[in-house]
A and B are shown apart, each in its own frame.
Chain A
């Protein structure tokens, strides 16, 4: 997830705070950083950026291919395309039910304590399915 998390791995790993409650209420958005179980190994947790939700179309950089996200799935990618086992390089769309938390804050190191920004890289999301369940499809705020 460089450069968002662990920008200098030599100085140690980042400690983040993940919010499990909003996932229990199905509140997530495109662009959020999420904590999910690896589809290939149930004992491994991954931290990736949620790029697309069901019904969206994403472009794959470096190729002319497009990917459509099937029902109940999402597309997750690391911020560092060279060293990331994610939807693009390995396992394709993953079930949304694998997501367990939404990474909200960096707690350590002290120099970078603060909120984690949520953004979708420009030009990746080709078609956005407005019917997909997101944070804004819930009425009101908790």
Chain B
């Protein structure tokens, strides 16, 4: 027994097919865009906010918007003086923003203070870095919890985006032991 579709039935089916393929096309584009955004955020560049008083002369307390790049960190090219964002040693949910002041094998001098006790010299063990905030008086950093594993570094902050009047490249430098000269642009 044979069955014949009427002309309108064929037309109907054709239209549904067109709709479906159109939908598939859109879904594919969306998926591709999602993959692209994920790739860029995870491996290239990401926006981030740095809050708190620990980086005070360089960044404000209220929260500065930074651009973060992952290329330097994935290739292991972080240098002394770079500003990095790292996952906190004390709270896995938190991300801290600090300056790298020592790489593996370096010897770092911790100045004596009332909080930390006597001054000491620490050798940074392999696979670790020494992170310290620019605001030495109000920063919880490697001086408190010791060297930080390199794997915790998320990325290097290289550009300040907000506030607009301070926007610009973030300078990489090692602060002098007593106060700073001008480092704000």
Q: Which residues of A contact B (CB under 8 A)?
A: 26, 37-42, 70-73, 94-99, 133
What residues of chain B lie closer than 8 Å to A40, measured between beta carbons? 125-128, 149
A42 and B89 contacting across the interface, CB-CB below 8 Å: no
Q: Give the nearest-CB partner of B90 in chain A.
A: A72
Tell me how far the C-beta of B96 lies from the nearest C-beta in chain A, rounded to whole angstroms: 11
**With A71-B91, A72-B88: A95-B152 Cβ-Cβ less than 8 Å:** yes
Question: Is B150 engaged at the interface, CB distance under 8 Å to the other chain?
Answer: yes
What residues of chain B lie closer than 8 Å to A73, measured between beta carbons? 89
What residues of chain B lie closer than 8 Å to A98, measured between beta carbons? 149, 151-152
* Contacts A/B (CB < 8 Å), 28 sampled: A26-B92, A26-B93, A37-B151, A38-B127, A38-B151, A39-B149, A40-B125, A40-B128, A40-B149, A41-B127, A42-B149, A70-B90, A70-B145, A71-B91, A72-B92, A94-B149, A95-B87, A95-B88, A95-B89, A95-B149, A95-B152, A96-B92, A97-B87, A97-B88, A97-B89, A97-B92, A98-B149, A99-B92
Question: Is B76 engaged at the interface, CB distance under 8 Å to the other chain?
Answer: yes
Tell me how far the C-beta of A66 lies from the nearest C-beta in chain B, rounded to whole angstroms: 20
A42 and B87 contacting across the interface, CB-CB below 8 Å: no
Tell me how far the C-beta of B115 lies from the nearest C-beta in chain A, rounded to whole angstroms: 16
B92 and A37 contacting across the interface, CB-CB below 8 Å: no
Q: Which residues of B contact A (CB under 8 A)?
A: 76, 87-93, 125-128, 145, 148-152
Secondary structure of the A contact surface, majority rule: loop
Tell me how far the C-beta of B151 lies from the nearest C-beta in chain A, rounded to whole angstroms: 4
What residues of chain B lie closer than 8 Å to A95, measured between beta carbons? 87-89, 92, 148-149, 152
A72 and B89 contacting across the interface, CB-CB below 8 Å: yes
What residues of chain A lie closer than 8 Å to B148, measured between beta carbons? 95
A42 and B91 contacting across the interface, CB-CB below 8 Å: no
A78 to B18, CA, bound (A): 57
Tell me how far the C-beta of B11 lies from the nearest C-beta in chain A, rounded to whole angstroms: 46
Contact of B128 among A26, A39, A96 (CB under 8 A): A39
Tell me how far the C-beta of B128 lies from the nearest C-beta in chain A, rounded to whole angstroms: 7
A73 to B92, CA, bound (A): 9
Most buried by B among A72, A95, A96, A97: A97
Q: Give the nearest-CB partner of A41 in chain B.
A: B127
Tell me how far the C-beta of A12 lies from the nearest C-beta in chain B, rounded to whole angstroms: 28
What residues of chain B lie closer than 8 Å to A38, measured between beta carbons? 127, 151
**With A39-B127, A41-B126: A72-B149 Cβ-Cβ less than 8 Å:** no
A70 to B91, CA, bound (A): 10
Q: Which 7 A-B pairs have the closest CB atoms?
A: A37-B151, A97-B87, A72-B90, A42-B151, A40-B127, A39-B149, A96-B92
A42 and B76 contacting across the interface, CB-CB below 8 Å: yes
What residues of chain A lie closer than 8 Å to B91, measured between beta carbons? 71-72
A99 to B149, CA, bound (A): 12
